[in-house]
Structure 1
Amino acid sequence: MQGVGNVSNPFDDESGRFLVLVNPEAQYSLWPAHIDVPGGWEQVGPEGSRQECTDLIDRVWTDMRPASLVAAMESDTD
């Protein structure tokens, strides 16, 4: 049994440090700062608290469609 304050999933650690990542499809992700950034993803913005990073994602990721879908839809309207 876990003790109080233990977090088994680093993504759920309210007191942890996080990064905001973006992939080539312009999709964003919250990422624990102590884990290597996976291939195909790039850090955007500074390391921060979980709340700071989720706030950044909420501000910048306003269109959830992958970039390739946006491009395809725009080319269909030409």
Structure 2
Amino acid sequence: MSIDNPNTEFTVVINEQEQYSIWPTYHNTPTGWKEVGVIGNKETCLAYIKTTWIDMRPKNLKENLASTNSN
């Protein structure tokens, strides 16, 4: 079990399905994810995600539901 270092700096990342996560800045951003420009401690990054990611469905599901409902 690892304990988070309170001094660890994170960046908020998003994937092509518009799903969010946080990633330590001392690691390269993983393939398939891009930084959104928010950097800070864990609490700051998670607070951003909480207020931004209000619909947790993957992008392709939202698009499929929208096209089904428009027919």
1:37 aligns with 2:29: yes
From 60, 63, 66, give the equivalent of 1:71.
63
In structure 2, which of residues 2, 10, 15 is the aligned counterpart of residue 8 of structure 1? 2
| Aligned CA-pair RMSD | 1.6
User: Per-residue deviation at 1:30?
Assistant: 1.0
TM-score normalised by L of structure 2: 0.89
Among residues 20, 24, 27, which one is paired with 2:16 in the alignment?
24
Which segments of 5 or more consecutive residues in structure 1 lack a partner in the other structure? 1-6
Q: Deviations over 1:20-75 (max 9, x none)?
A: 00000000001111111011100012321111100100010000100000000000
CA distance in 2: counterparts of 1:22 and 1:15, whole angstroms: 22
Paired amino acid for 2:40: G
Unmatched 5+ stretches in structure 2: none
Q: Which has the larger radius of gyration?
A: 1
Identity %: 36
Deviation at 1:8, TM superposition (A): 3.1
Q: In 1, distance between residues paired with 2:36 and 2:5?
A: 20
Aligned length: 70
TM-score by length of 1: 0.81
